[in-house]
Structure formats: C-alpha cells, structure tokens
Amino acid sequence: MLGVFTQGFLMWIFFGLAIFLPYFAVVLANQQGAPKETTSKAIAPKITIKSDQFKFDD
C-alpha cells in the first residue's frame, strides 16, 4: 500500500517488501525442528501361527 503513495527509492523498497515479506513469513512458518518424542511407543509381542494349527473341516 505504501508503494502506491510514495515515489522513488522508497517506492521500490515498499514493493520489494510487499513481494518478499509474505514469502519469508511462509518459509519461516513451515520450518520444522527435530522431531520430539513425547509419545511412548507400543511394544507388542510378535505373534506367529504355525501351519499345523490350521484345521479344515470338509
């Protein structure tokens, strides 16, 4: 908005900020740090079924 009402050097500064400031804001908002392990992991025993345990009734 200020780029419309000013002239010369300041106009170009304001137009540049209007273009690049939203870009940098989005980039900074999307930054992710190292993942934090706040949840506990579920540990379950491995279940196996042997083939002799299957029974078929005809």
Band (pLDDT 50/70/90 cuts) for residue 58 is low
Sorted by sequence, the CB contacts under 8 Å of residue 17 that are 6+ apart come out as: none
Sorted by sequence, the CB contacts under 8 Å of residue 12 that are 6+ apart come out as: 3
- Chain centroid, CA 29 distance in Å: 9
In the predicted model, is pLDDT for residue 12 greater than 80? yes
In a domain, 36, yes or no: yes
Q: Structurally, how many domains does the chain consist of?
A: 1
Instruction: Please tell me the predicted confidence (pLDDT) of residue 24.
Output: 92
Q: Taking the model in full, what pTM does it have?
A: 0.46
In a domain, 24, yes or no: yes
Distance CA 47, CA 44 (A): 9
In a domain, 58, yes or no: no
Of all residues in the chain, what percent carry a pLDDT higher than 90?
12
In a domain, 43, yes or no: yes
Domain range spanning residue 10? 1-53
Q: What is the pLDDT of residues 23-49, one digit of tens each?
A: 999 998 888 777 777 777 888 888 888
Helix residue ranges per DSSP H, the chain: 2-5, 9-29
